[in-house]
Structures are given as structure tokens and as C-alpha cells.
Structure 1
């Protein structure tokens, strides 16, 4: 029975089908195996707030508002059409991948968009897990622990995740996501170099000309892709400025020199993540590369230098491997429904640290980690609180670390602040919390000594 796997990334989407025991990526109607996650509206558009939620506002003959999930619905519908044209049948069962840092609300919105697009969503799985499934990691090792690092460099983000594999179970030990760097950063650096070359040759500065720079970005992007397989690439732009054509040859060595700081920025999170996790490079058994920009030879070499004796998995196209893993998971779930595949289990986990806000003796705010990132949910933790006098009630503030898309450092965002049950029992103060937004009882309960 056939099934579909979809990787819906920040910049591109990819769809794979599972049929006759194997998963493969299918091309869209333009012949491309990866589709830009872009929907164009012909009217002028801008993002505004409506009902405390962001929407796209299109102005023209009439004003209309489009929610982000409506855009996602159109992209996912395109993926569904692409898969069904390859299958030649109306197949709706699908597994959709999500970034590990996605919160519950984001996952729910993506699931709703996929269902509106006509999919029957079998499961949402995290991108690192899909990457491991694509290479069969953990499937042929019934016992024994191993560590795998999943490195994903997409168009606008970098994600590094360390997982522990034990008897077919994947456990995320730690993850790091940086939205300040991605493939577009390398393209932009190359485009700026091309603008400087044009100025040197024609004495014309096009760096402030949006139309000319867009042409250079397109040319730089094509050259960047060529340099992943060739030693040099030619960049030709027709009528770049005042009718003047621009032709420039870029060597791989020059590209690597231009982007040397970006390469260092792309690799540094690996060291930081391993240090935070308490692992060394020798503790990693495999490294999986994902994301289109992970094709860059210089980047692959720098990662190989870090893990000299570790297997670097890049045989599958990095921009397709997550979709392949999703399709394999979809095939397993469909097989389970018809009784031909064993049961598989998904355990939810904390996307990031969940912390409790306290005040010390000096009056300074102190944040204590209750649930570290990657903790399986639901979870229970005990934490001792102290205060003056006899306490009849108290108010707790729980926070969750979040990453801003502008690339800022981690900040604290409120998770829940409402205590619904406070009682003394067995010499301890037992506290239960309710999430204010949804009204659901929080999966965390805290026991505090009186």
C-alpha cells in the first residue's frame, strides 16, 4: 500500500512516496525534486496583525487577508498533487516532518493545514528522526547505545541535533537552532562579491539597486550550486545595469575564501552542542547531513575534520533525505494498519528547557531548570521551595526557552503562571498548574517542602 512523506522546510518543500517496499523522492511538474515554499499573490502584500495573529494583507481592487496556515495549505496541496501524479492514484495517508524546535501550537497549525490540503496525517515526526530513518539507523541494531549527530543547513537556518539510539529508540539529547545563517547567507556573500567586481569593471555601483542585486542573487545562487560539483562556475547576468551585461568566473577557492567566516560560524555550534551535552567527537558514531547547503564540499570537509574516525552519511541528497525518512515512516504506519508491520511508538519531548522562576535572598531572580530539553513528556519533577512564615498559597511562574527568528540569544518566555491546586500532604506542599492559553492541566507537577 502506498503512502506519502512530506518535508515542509522554511524555504523549500520535498515529497517522497513509499511504494513496493521502498521510498523515493518525486519531481514536481517542472521537473524539480525540491519545490520552493513560496506562494505568489499578484497584489501588494504586507504582514499585519488581525485578532492578535499575523496575516498577509493584500491590497488591490479589494483588500483580502490570508493567514500563514492558508499559505502552508497551498504548498502542501501542491506536494499532494505531485505525489499523486507519480503514484497514479488518490493517496492521502502522509507523514509530515517538523523542526524539533516547533511548539505544540505550531505543530497543530501545520497538521490543520495538511488536513485542509487533503492529507490524512498519520503522524508528525521531527526532522532529525526522519533523517535517521532514511539511513536505517537503529533499525538493524536491536541493542546497544550509540550517538548520532544530525547536521542540517537549510536555506535560512542551521540545526544541529545529538540523538542517542538504543534498540531502535531515538532520544534527543540536545539540539541547537540558529536562524541567522543558512544557504542564503552564502549566496548573499557571493552576490556582494559580484557587485564589487561589476563596480571595478564598469565603475558603476549596483549595491543599492534592488533589481540589479536580485539578478546577482539569482546568478550567485546558480554559481553556488555549480561549485558543489565543479572547480569553477561562470556567472552571466543579462542587462544588469543600464543595458550592460555582466560575466564573471568564480573559482571554488575564491568562493571558500569569501565565505570563510560563514563556514566557521556553521561549524562552531557542533563543538558547543557536544560540550553542553557532555560528549566528545569520539563519542559520536555517525554524522548525518541534511539540507541543501550541506552539499558544499568545504563544509563537508570541515565536519569530516572534526569527526576524523566517524562515518559521515551523505550518500542520499541532503535536501531529500528528510522527505525519504518521512515516507519510510508513512509506509511503516500504513503497514501497521493492515497488520503487516510491528507497532511503532512516538514519545513527545520538551522542545527546550522548562524553568521555574524564584527569588533568592538578595531579591534577584533565579531560574531553575525543571525539565531539560529533550525530556520525554508527560513528566514529573520535585523541586524544594522555601519562604518566610507559614504558606497557605503561592503563585508559580514557569518559563520556556524560545529562540527568536532574528537570530537573537535565547530569551525566557512565559509558559504558565496559574496555580490551581495547592495543598499540604505528608509534610509537603503539592502544586498543580494549568496552562492559561489552552486551559489544559500542565504535564508538570511540582512538590515543594513546606
Structure 2
């Protein structure tokens, strides 16, 4: 992670999918100020537009979007750290009026016309323009240059997406001194603003449902220590998906009722989407709303209405997915919902009545905490963290943040088994060491493969990196060595392996520069871990049984090589032992074809033989 430069003031930025917000700690007033933009609004659209004359950012870009949809870029956060071939990128691409193509290394690029020329931009470049706007807003308010910032990201952003966010800052010379998770920032805002006088331990569940991402985090707050107990989420679920659902519904209604086709008309789709977003907001307080778009297409004036009940029916699976994610977070944290003291709503989409109803029902009627501004809470918390990293700032609450890792980290062992050293939702920073042993005689080196993921089968997870450590002189099977994982507060993983006999050591660092999982892949691994749980359990049982089989064959063969034991066995016993060993060897040579029952029977025979030999 970047370090703070020049001992200057650090601001807090909530870089959102649909809206962004900037805040700063004012030590002279002992409070956080949410900084208004040049239009007097506390939030700024995360939107960039290109015209024949200029580039527009924020409100100005959003205002002209209906007449310039092909060159108005929004939702760019959904492209951060992803590949163009990612299925989610392809799905989003179909809903956007602007063009997205594949760039170098399969990175997505947006294509626009700017001053009469075609231009291509990476997602990081567009995000840097939005960050630049937030930086300018802060500088105008503070009356001096601002070069350092704390930026928030969804809790489920992977390392590739976090690195892309840092790169966006680098492009404009904004030093991102720390990246923190959005729900954690919101919890800081809530605890300091509303629970400053609470005594003892308090469990807070932050329900962060924004424009493009959805996160749930469970934190335990005691004094000034904020400890994350569990996190879950979906970095591709938010208000934009709800808008798209409504838009698809009305596109079909226009096709069937009015015989009007607009699916290929980017300007009409953009105007319809804006109308759907307004309708969604109206339905947060009204039970029915009208939608009107004059001159939608070829002079056709369109009018329709939608009820809250219909709106909820269209999106009910998305709303129910939110509650399932809450259950997952509590399950991972090993906490019963009755122990949650406060459920804090953050993000504009958390205002949807059906979402609140489902959440309240899940918590058996508990009142939801709506006392903080859902749009500003994340930036508020980021400003607190920023103040802690600023030099010479007084009266800053001395907070201690303990976050967690969102996925398991481990190595591949014999039989392609994932040996987890740092489990998912483990508090960071953390260091874990575990002893392992070589599998064959005369081994010259040990190959260490580092994985992240939730599958029992190592190759079913994501390979982060690998390295080898040499063994000299070559040792017998069972030679011990240690593997150590160290994960720091910035999410950087260091892995080392040490030969315990010789002290020979080798290590690598898995940095944020590595191209790692896309959000879709993280979600896929978690879903597959559930779907194939029984398959994983069967795989583990079989792999462990085969490893036991291999160990017993090895011990018996070693024992037979000893003259003392060999001389005491009859020819018939030797023949029977060799037949059993041959059968076991055949099982080991045809791993995938063996039945767990047959392996178990062979293990029993080998145990009997081993017991007999050891008794000689």
C-alpha cells in the first residue's frame, strides 16, 4: 500500500459505483465535514462524459447523459480489476450505451468520441477522473492542495480490484495511503456518531447495499477497538441491477403493448433507464408511480405506471439474495442473530421498503438503524481513518481496526488436498506456521504451491504463486519442513518454507500486483463449495485413505528390507504380503477408478500385516 507523503492532510473518499462522496476531519471543530461539490450537493455522480468540446465529470456529465449516451461513462467501478471475457462484464456490456472492447491482457476498455476523435480508456483512467473531481472538490473547500487520501472499497473487492483502485490514484498523483472496506468505514461512522456513549461489547451488522455492490460485515466494538468478525457480499449486486430489471420489464412491455422496439437504440435506453431510476426512488415512499418519457423514440411519447408490488415482484430474487448473504455472514462469524445489537443500513438501495421488511423479519422484528445518512456514512468513516493517518491532527478518536481476509489461504499437499493455513474470515494481520513432510525418498526439492479459495481440492482454487526449496543432501521420505504464511494489514501475503534439518529457507511475497481472482470467480468458488460440499467430503475421505494406503505400503516394504524381520517370515507369508502390496499399488496407480470401500478393505489387510511384522 502507498505511504503518506509530505506529512500533509489526508482526506476520506467513498469512490462509489453510482455516486462518490468526500469528507475531511476538521480538528478545529472536532468533527467530520462532508464536503459539498460545486453544485452544493454532498454526493457527486460517478460519471464522466466526452463531447466535441470538453470532458465533463460529475453532475454536468450526468445531466447531459440522455442526449450523449454513447460517450457518457458510468458504472466503471464494475470494470475495475476484471477481464473483458469475464461473464459479468459481458452481461453489463449489453446494458450499457457506451462501447466496451478488449485491451492489452484482456483488460476492458471503454471507447468514446472526444473532440471528433475515437479514444479508448481503461477503467482505472475513468476512475482516476472521478477521483480527480473529488480531489478538486476537497481542495476548493480546504483552500490548499490535497495529495493524500483514504479510499473505500467493497469488502469483497479482491486484490486485483484494490490494486486497480490504487492505480487510479497514481494516474492523477493522488497518493492513496490506505484502502479500507466500506462496511468497516460505515461502522466507524455509526459507532462514533451514535454510540459514543455505549458501554461494553456491542455487535454491529452493517448492511451496505449501494448502487453497484452489496456487502455485509459483522463487527464487534468494545471501547475503541473495531474487530471484524465476518464479511460476505456480492461485488456485482446493487441498485444498478434493480434499474436494469425495471428497464428490461418496460422494454418488453413497449414491444408487446405498443409495438415499439428500442433495444438497439442507446439514446432511448438511456432515457428509459433514467426514468426507471427515478421511479425506483419514488417507490421508496409511494405505493405507485407514473413514468413518462416524451419523444422516447421517433416522436413517440411514452407513459406507463408501476406499483410497488410489481416492482418488488420483478426484483424479489435480488432482495432475497441480500438476506441469504446476511445469513452467510452470521454463519461464518459463528454468531446467532439474537446477539446482534444493531443493524445499520448503508447505501442508497437500503432504503427500498421490501429490503428493509425482509431484513427486519429476519431479525425477528428488530428496529433497523437508519439514523446515519446512508449516502454519506462511508465517506464519514473514511475521514476518521484519514485523520488517524494525518500528521499533527488533534482530537482524533484513537481507533484500532481489526479486519479479516475474505477467503482461505493454503498450500497443495499430496493427493491435491488444500491444506489451509489462514482460514477465511481470519483476523489480519496474522502469521501461521505448519509442519509438513516429504513424500518420497531421495527428494531433491519441495514444490510449494499457494492457493486461495474454499474448495477441498487444491486445483479447484486459485493459484497465487509457487516456488521450490532444495533439499541437500537428498533425504528419506518423511523429511520435515515448515511453511509459514504471514498476511499483513494491507493484505500482502508472504510465504516461506524452511528445511528444518539444514535451515535452508526460501520465501515469496504475493503482492497486489498479481492478477488475481475476479469477483465472479470468488463468488463461483463459494457457490461451488456449497454445491459440491458432499463431493468435497467424499474426495477428502478418498484422498486421505489413499495416502494412508501409500504410507502403510511404504512402511511394510521398508520393514521387509530389514534382515531381522525378513528372516522370521515364511515363504507363504512373504507371498501373501507381496500379493496384498501389489493390489494396493494397483489402487494407487489408478486413483480415480478406486472405490472407497475397496480401499478401506485393503487398508485393514495392510494394518493386520503391519501389526504382525512389528510384533516380530
Provide the TM-score with structure 1 as the length reference: 0.82
C-alpha contact (below 8 Å) 1:381/1:446 kept by paired residues: no
Q: Which has the larger radius of gyration?
A: 2
Alignment partners' CA distance in 2, 1:101 and 1:202? 42
1:413 to 462, 468, 471: 462
Structure 1 residues 120-135: aligned runs within 5 Å = 120-135=175-190
Alignment partners' CA distance in 2, 1:57 and 1:187? 23
2:340 to 273, 281, 284: 284
Aligned to 2:304: 248
2:94 is aligned with 1:85: no
2:47 to 38, 46, 52: 38
Aligned to 1:405: none
Give the direction of change, closer, same or farther, for the CA distance of 1:332–1:52 in structure 2 (3 Å limit): same
C-alpha contact (below 8 Å) 2:206/2:217 kept by paired residues: yes
Residue 314 of structure 1 aligns to a residue whose secondary structure is coil
| Range with greater deviation from structure 2 (311-320 or 51-60) | 51-60
- For structure 2, the 5+ residue unaligned runs are 1-7, 52-70, 72-97, 502-616
C-alpha offsets along residues 29-62 of structure 1, whole Å, 9 cap, x if unaligned?
Answer: 3444322323234578643333675555667876
Give the direction of change, closer, same or farther, for the CA distance of 1:189–1:3 in structure 2 (3 Å limit): same
1:202 to 258, 265, 282: 258
Residue 221 of structure 2 aligns to a residue whose secondary structure is strand
2:421 is aligned with 1:374: no
2:75 is aligned with 1:23: no
Give the direction of change, closer, same or farther, for the CA distance of 1:391–1:154 in structure 2 (3 Å limit): same
2:210 is aligned with 1:149: no
C-alpha contact (below 8 Å) 1:350/1:377 kept by paired residues: no
1:66 to 118, 121, 134: 121
Alignment partners' CA distance in 2, 1:434 and 1:166? 26
| Range with greater deviation from structure 2 (275-284 or 59-68) | 59-68
Q: Which has the higher strand share?
A: 1
The alpha-carbon deviation at position 104 of structure 1 amounts to 4.6
C-alpha contact (below 8 Å) 1:381/1:445 kept by paired residues: no
Structure 1 residues 261-276: aligned runs within 5 Å = 261-276=317-332
C-alpha offsets along residues 234-278 of structure 1, whole Å, 9 cap, x if unaligned?
Answer: 211111233221122222233223322222122221123322332
Alignment partners' CA distance in 1, 2:228 and 2:129? 31
Structure 1 residues 221-240: aligned runs within 5 Å = 221-240=277-296
Aligned to 1:182: 238
Provide the TM-score with structure 2 as the length reference: 0.62
C-alpha contact (below 8 Å) 1:356/1:396 kept by paired residues: yes
Please, what is the CA RMSD of the aligned residues?
Answer: 3.7
Give the direction of change, closer, same or farther, for the CA distance of 1:224–1:171 in structure 2 (3 Å limit): same
Residue 279 of structure 2 aligns to a residue whose secondary structure is helix
Aligned to 1:49: 103
Aligned to 1:443: 494
Give the direction of change, closer, same or farther, for the CA distance of 1:56–1:309 in structure 2 (3 Å limit): closer
The alpha-carbon deviation at position 141 of structure 1 amounts to 7.2
